[in-house]
Amino acid sequence: MLIWPATRFVAGEDREAAIAAARGLNARGIAVSLDLLGENVTERDEAASARDAYVDILEGIDEAGVDSNISIKLTMLGLDIAPRLAEENLRAILEAAEAHGNWVRIDMEGSPYTQLTLEIFQRVWESHRNVGVVVQSMLRRTAADVERLISMGARVRLVKGAYREPAPLAIQTKAEVDRAFDRLAERLLDDGNEPAIATHDDARIRHVIEHAERRGIPPDRYEFQMLYGIRATTQVAMVERGHRMRVYVPYGEKWFPYFTRRLRERRENVTFVLRNLIRR
C-alpha cells in the first residue's frame, strides 16, 4: 500500500489512480506524462509484462480522453537482458501508441545506458515518429547528442540529471550543470522540435522565458515539465501565464524502490524532497 510521504510524489499503484491524477491535472490546464514505475528487469516475462502494462495504460488514456502521453524506461523492457528485446518491446508499444493517436517518451537512465538508449531511439525513429527521448545536462557528451537530435528533428526532453556519475563522464558542480542546462535549452529552443524543458529551478525557468522572448519564440513551441507533487501551485501559475506545462506522473506497485532510490542517489535529493513537502 502506498504510504505518506510517497503519496505526495506517486499517484497510486494502479491504472485507475494514474488516470484520476491525469484528469485532475488536465482540469488545471496541465498535460501529463504517465510513468509506470519499475526498471532493470532480469527476466523476459517481466519485460513482456511491462510491455503489456504500457499498452494497457495507452488504452486507458484513450478511453478516459485525458491529455497524457507515456514515459518508459528501456531497462524495464529488457535492456539488461538484450538490447534487441528492449527494442522489440518498444516497437510494440509505439505501434499501440500510434493506434491510439498517442506518443512515447524514452527516459534516460544512468550513463551505462546512454549510448544504447540513443542507438535504439535512432533506429525506431526511422519508422516511428511518435517517440521522443531525454538528455541530461550533467553529462559531458550531451551537447554533441543534442546537435544530432536537433538534426534529426527529434523531440527532446532536457533534464539536469539525478544519477551520481563519475567526473570523466559528468559535470560535478551545480553551477556548471546549470550553465550547461541553459546552453542546451537555448539550442533546443532555437532549433529543436517542441522541446520539453524539465526543471523546478526558478533561475532556469527565467532563463528559458527570457531567451524565448528575445528570439521571438512563442510559448506554444516548447513546454515546461515538472514532477508530480512538486510545486503544484507554480505549475498552475505557469499555465495561467500562458506557458505549456506537462507533469510527469509516476504510478505503480514498485513505488518504494523508486522513492528510496531517488533519496539514496544524491544527498541533495533528500533536501529537495523534504523542502517540497511544505513548499507549494
C-alpha cell at 233: 501551485
Active site residue 44: no
Instruction: In whole angstroms, give the CA distance from residue 247 to residue 238.
Output: 12
Residue 96: CB partners within 8 Å, gap ≥ 6? 54, 55, 58, 59
Q: Do residues 258 and 250 make contact, with C-beta atoms less than 8 angstroms apart?
A: yes
C-alpha cell at 216: 521571438
Instruction: In whole angstroms, give the CA distance from residue 240 to residue 231.
Output: 14
Choosing from 107, 204, 244, 246, the catalytic residue is 107
Tell me the three state secondary structure of residue 99.
helix
Choosing from 15, 51, 105, 157, the catalytic residue is 157
Distances (CA, A) of 255 to 94, 103, 202, 236, 248: 24, 24, 28, 25, 14
218 prior amide bond cis, ω within 30: no
Active site residue 190: no
Helix ranges (DSSP H) in the chain: 6-9, 15-26, 44-64, 83-99, 114-125, 142-152, 174-191, 202-215, 232-240, 255-265, 267-276
Active site residues: 107, 157
